[in-house]
Structure 1
Amino acid sequence: MRILHTSDWHIGRSFHGHVTLDALAGVLQELALQVRDNEVDVVIVAGDVFDSATPAAACYPLLSRSLGAIRDAGAQIVVTSGNHDSSARLGFQSALLRDGIHVITDPATVGVPVTVDDGHGPVHFYGIPYLEPTMVRAVWPGVTLRSHADTLDHAMGLIRADLAQRGGRSIAIAHCFAAGVAPTPQLERDIQQGGLDVVPLSAFDGVDYVALGHIHGRQQLSERVRYAGAPLHYSFGEADKPRGSWLIDVDAAGEVTARWLDLPVPRRLVTLRGPLDELLADPSLDAHHDDWVCAVLTDPTPQIDPMRKLQTRFAWCATIKLDPVGVPAASRITYADRVRDVESDDELIERFLTHVRAGEGAGERERELIADAVAEARVAELTS
């Protein structure tokens, strides 16, 4: 059987204030073409279908069209909910979908597979929706569920028990942070990167392949445990991670082989670093005119209207970060801390200038002008 493992579509997520629906629609259309060209039998979406528990109206048609295109390409689909999804809303959507599209959102169904047959017999797809321990204790009374790791361990126990009776090949689908994942900048919220919510790989023993979601970059934890990542880049921290999905072949004995299928990147992401004037003038940066740009400005003092200036050259400059070169760490304290103990107006203005100039206070002539201005203001107060 041939399976395409994808995850974390995050329909409705914006990118630094820019809508991503059209870009995602194009990428998912390409994914449907890959399903057809590679004669895929089943497509897995391992959680975080939507970016929000309350998706905007435009998100639902995109999901329906994308799932329909994949189904038309010849594959069945197994979808599970992630920590960003509302299981109730996603589950309601499932009743409106076509045959062959299976949406798993109910914890009570864990251990009951979606079974798809091929020439070698059945393959059982065990979907595990995102399991918040405090929400599923009522589903499994008497079971100790202190952490996400506890809930996944219990869910996999139910799966192994069911599989022992059914026999056949098996795929588990989960949305979690598994032990062994490389450190991830800007890790998704709500599932911790450390502590009790890390799920040990041993929890997934007993099945032939584990399709994981939650991490936005492709990762292989073992030959049979993998993350596919997101189909779009949703942060500059992901810029160096390829976008795509795993094409999984499961033979008659349950042995797994995998290869990566790249998806197109609608707009590249690049981080440019340097003083503002250099970024605006350097001819070697012309190639980034149509890229998403994160500009890291190294000017020692803040620049005037930098975003407007950058966007005249880089139309898709999305964000600016400040990392002044040569500025001592002590100059980076907050403004509130800097002015908390001031005793005079002159000192307040001096500290304000020190803050906005990243450590450089007023010059001698500026101090004279400040003193004159403060004196004039005091006279005006007394005579008003």
Structure 2
Amino acid sequence: MRKRAVKNQFQELPVTFRFIHTSDLHIGRKFANIPQPVDGNIRGRLMEARHGAIGRLAQAARDQGAAHVLLAGDTFDTATPSPVVIRQALAAMGEAPELIWWLLPGNHDNLRDAEPLWEAIHRDAPANVIALTDAAPQDMGDAATLLPCPVAFRASASDPSEPLVTMASDDGKLRIGLAHGGVTDFTESGTAIAPDRDRSARLDYLALGDWHGRIAVSDRVQYCGSPEQDRFKHGRRGVCLSVAIDGPGAVPLVEEVETGSFLWAQVDLTLHPRQDAAAALTAILPGAGRRDVLLRVSATGWAGLPDHVDLQRAADRCAPEFAHFELVTDALGTQYETADLDEIDRGGALRLAADGLMDDAESETLSQADREVAADALARLYAYVREAAR
């Protein structure tokens, strides 16, 4: 009995399997929706940040002790990225030879539309980059089997994760699913991923891509979001997920690792008439790191004509400090006062024009678009006159 107790004391403990879950790099995206300033190159910086995410993912894997990086679709933004974009992305992955990069076709780089892309990856990729163009089990070593579901078409009429149910894996190995698409409940059309796919396919973890925000569907079903954000709605820098699983059936330990270099943020600014609009704007701006922040300020409430002018001038002053800056005033109402119109002119043609624009801006018979045009024109007239008086 004593001998058996000593032996049990030194039995090997299960080795934790670790990997990085990421998706939606969209390498090669051109960001045509972001205005390019005359003296800046924000689009170029954003494009370079997407390529640079490869190196940051590699570093995250090293820091977390992971040997595998799972890319759950949309590694490339289009089905036809340039040869330079492809080769440079593959070369960057090859610069981390200690890692295995698993690339799954998504809806942007799906198998049908991007056939030449995946042929190029098969042909030119370094040995540590594996293109998952078949829905077939992949050996990840002694601990795990990867079960990929490549996207064949940009739009599908079925659940892209359905093949996971019948995919085989060796006994005693982790079953890790990799898919790209949205999750729905069972009352929907059935064209999206079932939220309980981990149970129906006996998965230890399902790594999903497609949604650019970070969402935990359940302990075993996770969206990592994009490692480099590209829209204002998420309000945080991009992350990848470090996943650690002690063995089959164990609950995965999932940790977010920040990888984004740019912050896309949207903030609300509520104003009231005669408020110091410039000071109110300054108070909500980040104090540091503005060069790497894309900021959209949505102004609401009410402001007088002078407030509108002061707000726009304050925005114009601070905008060059940011990677990108937007001031949205569509929902900011204007309160008109006689004293403000008197500043334009107490009589004569300018006053007649101002009165006419004010009437149109407050009209109940004109369309919303026409009222907004009139309000904008009046605000511009006020700003011009005020500037000329300086």
Q: TM-score normalised to the size of structure 1?
A: 0.67
Query: How far did residue 354 of structure 1 move?
Result: 3.3
Could you tell me how far apart the structure 2 residues matched to 1:311 and 1:57 are?
40
How many residues align structurally? Answer: 306
Give 1:232-243 correspondences, 5 Å limit. 232-240=228-236, 242-243=237-238
The answer to whether the 8 Å contact 1:297/1:320 transfers is yes
Rounded to whole Å, the distance in 1 between the matches of 2:278 and 2:149 is 48
Shift of 1:268: 2.6
Q: Which residue of 2 aligns with 1:11?
A: 27
Note if 1:50 corresponds to 2:76.
yes
Say if 2:233 and 2:266, in contact at 8 Å, map to a contact too. no
Partner of 2:287: 287
Indicate whether 1:90 and 2:117 are aligned: yes
Q: Note closer, same or farther for the CA distance 1:357–1:217 as it changes in structure 2 (3 Å cut).
A: same
Cα deviation 1:56-92 (Å, max 9, x = unaligned): 454224421332133x2x2212110111114313311
1:280/1:310 contact within 8 Å kept: no
Q: Following TM superposition, by how much is the alpha carbon of 1:311 offset from its aligned partner in structure 2, in angstroms?
A: 4.6
Provide closer, same or farther for how the CA distance between residues 280 and 63 of structure 1 changes in structure 2, counting only shifts above 3 A. Answer: farther
Give the 3-state SS of the residue equivalent to 1:2 in structure 2.
strand
Give the deviation of 1:236 after TM superposition.
0.6
In structure 1, the residue matched to 2:151 is: 130
Structure 1 counterpart of 2:164, one-letter code: M
Taking the aligned partners of 1:176 and 1:56, their CA distance within structure 2 comes to 25
| Cα deviation code 1:24-81 (max 9, x no counterpart) | 23333222122223221211000010111222454224421332133x2x22121101
> Which amino acid in the other structure matches residue 152 of structure 1?
S
Specify the alignment match of 2:161 in structure 1.
152
C-alpha change, 1:279 and 1:359, in structure 2 (3 Å) is closer
Q: Which of 240, 255, 258 is equivalent to 1:260?
A: 255
CA deviation digits over 1:202-233, x for unaligned, max 9? 33431221111011122211221111110112
- Quick one: which amino acid aligns to residue 293 of structure 1? L
1:94-113 aligned at under 5 Å gives the runs 94-105=122-133, 109-110=134-135, 112-113=136-137
Aligned partner of residue 102 in structure 2, secondary structure: strand
Within a 5 Å distance, the mapping from 1:283-362 to structure 2 comes to: 283-284=282-283, 285=285, 287=287, 289-290=290-291, 291-298=293-300, 310-315=315-320, 316=322, 317-326=324-333, 354-358=371-375
TM-score by length of 2: 0.66
Q: Which amino acid aligns with 1:196?
A: G
User: Conserved in 2, the CA contact under 8 Å of 1:12 and 1:55?
Assistant: yes
| Aligned-residue offset at 1:14 | 4.0
Q: In structure 1, the residue corresponding to 2:94 is in which secondary structure?
A: helix
**Which residue does the alignment assign to 2:348?**
none
The 1:86/1:224 distance shift into structure 2, 3 A limit, reads closer
**Counterpart residue identity of residue 20, structure 2:** L
Q: Does the 8 Å CA contact 1:52/1:84 hold for their aligned counterparts?
A: yes
Read off the aligned partner of 1:102 and give its amino acid letter: I
SS of 2:229's equivalent in the other structure is: coil
Report % sequence identity.
21
Match of 1:197? 191
Where in structure 1 are there 5+ consecutive unaligned residues?
135-145, 181-192, 329-345, 362-384
Is 1:248–1:256's contact at 8 Å kept on the other side of the alignment?
no
Aligned 8 A contact 2:110 2:150 in 1: no
- 1:237-258 CA-to-partner distances (Å, cap 9, x unmatched) read 0114x52222222334452432
Residue 132 of structure 1 deviates from its aligned partner by 3.5
Match 1:114 to one of 138, 148, 151: 138
1:169 pairs with 2:185? no
Query: Does structure 2 retain, via aligned residues, the 8 Å contact 1:8–1:48?
Result: yes
Give deviations 1:100-128, integer Å, cap 9, x for gaps: 321113xxx31x222022xxx34211111
Q: Which residue of 2 aligns with 1:207?
A: 203
Unaligned runs of 5+ in 2: 1-16, 36-42, 336-355, 361-365, 379-390
Deviation by residue 1:182-204 (Cα, 9 ceiling, x = unmatched): xxxxxxxxxxx964323212334
1:10 deviates by 0.9
How many Å apart are 1:326 and its aligned residue?
A: 3.9
Using the alignment, how far apart are the partners of 2:100 and 2:116 within structure 1?
21
Conserved 8 A contact 1:246-1:258: no
1:359 positional shift:
9.9
Root-mean-square deviation over aligned CA pairs: 3.7
